[in-house]
């Protein structure tokens, strides 16, 4: 059950496959504030699903009692988007979490390149509005497989200080060549990309080839990464606060082993994306093998936190502050 209950105040059809939902607090009180890139988790029939917060429209922020989200209907999914697009009507009550942000926007003076693939426009739109408010320069690229996947086209054009590059991936205009986009980017530029794994990977590779460090390259992907079979070894985990010792087999994660032993830590996605499960590391007798997509590079290097749903230790023993 979500932390808060909100009412669906309005629903707008943005494209044949994308809906916009306005969510309001039940008593008109302010909802928790958030920064661009944040998402909330919404209770759906099959669990909870994260949705990015849009913040408002080109010239007006939403009032403090309102969250605005956009949802793409995905018939091949496991029901979350179908619930929100087909079953939820105006007046319905939804359970939601407080906002979390794994894709935060830095706002120091710099050139920025924002790249959205399809529904990945949701956090990018919130970022564009914030940069416009602050008077920071940016370029925006919006890629989609077809026009139905391109919501808020006019609004995006209105927010951007420079002409937006809209790219529909038709058979003729196939994939976007991301290399030329980096010509304008010089230190201390930043790039933010939210799209498919393919788009994100291409952008990160070109950013790196153009001298941008991982601290200047920010990515989020709504879909889980492809399953990669890795060479895992077993290790032991001591949960310091409870004194519980666990043996993590090669074919299970720390999270899976905890659950199998009746321990229920906080988690959601189980795939290193939501940022809910990280635990504090007390000690490790080998390097941490970070496989998540949420901890910042500096956090990973510090070795102080680990996403227990996917990451492991390349050693024999890990002590967690749990």
Ligand X SMILES: Cc1cc2nc3c(=O)[nH]c(=O)nc-3n(C[C@H](O)[C@H](O)[C@H](O)COP(=O)(O)OP(=O)(O)OC[C@H]3O[C@@H](n4cnc5c(N)ncnc54)[C@H](O)[C@@H]3O)c2cc1C
Interatomic CA distance for residues 190 and 17, integer angstroms: 31
User: Which distant-in-sequence residues (6+ apart) come within 8 Å of 200 by Cβ?
Assistant: 117, 193, 194, 219, 220, 221
Residue 272's binding partner among ligand FES, ligand X, none (Cβ under 5 to 8 angstroms by kind) is ligand FES
* Contact partner at residue 275 from ligand X, ligand FES, none, CB < 5 to 8 Å by partner kind: ligand FES
154 token code pair: 């006019």
The one segment of 159-167, 216-224, 253-261, 281-289 that binds ligand X by CB under 6 A: 216-224
Between CA 301 and CA 306 the distance in angstroms is 11
Q: Which of 9-17, 78-86, 137-145, 232-240 is the region at the interface with ligand X (rule: CB under 6 A)?
A: 78-86
Does 49 participate in binding ligand X (rule CB under 6 A)? yes
- Work out which of 269, 288, 306, 313 binds ligand FES, going by CB under 6 A: 269
Binding mask 279-308 for ligand FES (x = CB under 6 A): -------------x-x------------x-
**What would the DSSP string read from start to end of 165-180?**
EEEE--STT-S---GG
CA distance 245 to 262: 13
Residue 210 buriedness (CB in 10 A; 0-12 / 13-18 / 19+): middle
Q: How far is CA 124 from CA 131, 142, 319, in A?
A: 10, 9, 38
Which one of ligand X, ligand FES, none interacts with residue 320, CB within 5 to 8 A by kind?
none
Angle at 35 between CA 33 and CA 40, to 5 degrees: 70
**Per CB under 6 A, 222 contacts ligand X:** yes
Query: Minimum distance between the CB of residue 47 and ligand X, rounded to whole angstroms?
Result: 8
Residue 224 sits in the site that holds ligand X (CB under 6 A): yes
- For residues 96 and 23, the answer to whether their CB atoms sit within 8 Å is yes
> Using the rule CB under 6 A, is 2 a contact of ligand X?
no
Q: Is 263 one of the binding residues for ligand FES (CB under 6 A)? A: no
* Angstrom distance (rounded) from CA 15 to CA 34: 26
Q: Which range touches ligand X (CB under 6 A), out of 20-28, 69-77, 280-288, 295-303?
A: 69-77
Shortest Å distance, C-beta 273 to ligand FES: 6
Q: Please state the φ and ψ torsions of residue 34, each to the nearest 5 degrees.
A: -155, 165
- Residue 139 is a binding residue for ligand FES (CB under 6 A): no
Separation between Cα atoms, residue 248 and residue 286, nearest integer Å: 15
Nearer to ligand FES, 103 or 268 (CB): 268
C-alpha closest to that of 21 among 79, 75, 76, 93: 93
Q: Single out the residue of 35, 223, 233, 252 in contact with ligand X (rule: CB under 6 A).
A: 223
Using CB under 6 A as the binding rule, whether residue 19 contacts ligand X is answered as no
Stretch of 27-35, 137-145, 240-248, 269-277 contacting ligand FES, by CB under 6 A: 269-277
DSSP assignment string, 247-278: EE-TTS-HHHHHHHTT-----SSSSS-S----
**Region binding ligand FES by CB under 6 A among candidate stretches 130-138, 206-214, 273-281, 313-321:** 273-281
Burial class (CB in 10 A: 0-12, 13-18, 19+), 188: middle
- 190 lies in the binding site for ligand FES (CB under 6 A): no
Does the footprint of ligand X cover residue 142 (CB under 6 A)?
A: no
Applying CB under 6 A, the span of 50-58, 124-132, 240-248, 282-290 interacting with ligand X comes to 50-58
155 binds ligand X (CB under 6 A): no
| Residue 122 binds which entry of ligand X, ligand FES, none, CB below 5-8 Å type-dependent | ligand X
- Find where tokens 């949705």 sit: 51
Binding site for ligand FES (CB under 6 A): 267-270, 272-277, 292, 294, 307, 309
């Amino acid at each position: 059950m979500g932390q808060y209950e909100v009412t669906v105040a309005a629903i707008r059809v943005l494209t044949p496959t994308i809906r916009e939902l306005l969510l309001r607090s039940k008593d008109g009180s302010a909802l928790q504030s958030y920064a661009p890139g944040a998402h909330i988790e919404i209770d759906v029939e099959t669990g909870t699903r994260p949705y990015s917060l849009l913040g408002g429209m080109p010239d007006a922020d939403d009032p403090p009692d309102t969250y605005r989200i956009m949802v793409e209907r995905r018939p091949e999914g496991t029901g979350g988007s179908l619930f929100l697009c087909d079953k939820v009507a105006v007046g319905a009550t939804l359970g939601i979490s407080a906002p979390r942000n794994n894709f935060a926007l830095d706002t120091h003076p710099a050139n920025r390149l924002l790249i959205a693939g399809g529904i990945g426009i949701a956090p990018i739109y919130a970022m564009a509005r914030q940069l416009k408010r602050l008077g920071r320069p940016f370029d925006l690229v919006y890629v989609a497989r077809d026009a139905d996947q391109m919501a808020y086209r006019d609004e995006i054009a209105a927010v951007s200080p420079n002409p937006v590059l809209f790219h529909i991936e038709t058979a003729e205009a196939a994939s976007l060549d991301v290399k030329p986009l980096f010509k304008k980017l010089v230190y201390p530029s930043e790039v933010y990309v939210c799209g498919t794994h393919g788009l994100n990977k291409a952008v990160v590779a070109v950013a790196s080839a153009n001298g941008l460090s991982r601290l200047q390259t920010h990515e989020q992907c709504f879909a889980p990464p492809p399953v990669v079979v890795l060479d895992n070894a077993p290790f032991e985990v001591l949960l310091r606060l409870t004194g519980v010792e666990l043996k993590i087999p090669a074919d299970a994660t720390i999270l899976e082993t905890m659950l199998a032993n009746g321990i229920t830590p906080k988690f959601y996605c189980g795939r290193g994306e939501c940022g809910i499960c990280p635990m504090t590391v007390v000690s490790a007798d080998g390097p941490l093998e970070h496989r998540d997509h949420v901890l910042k590079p500096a956090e990973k290097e510090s070795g102080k936190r680990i996403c227990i749903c996917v990451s492991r230790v390349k050693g024999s023993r890990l002590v967690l502050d749990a």
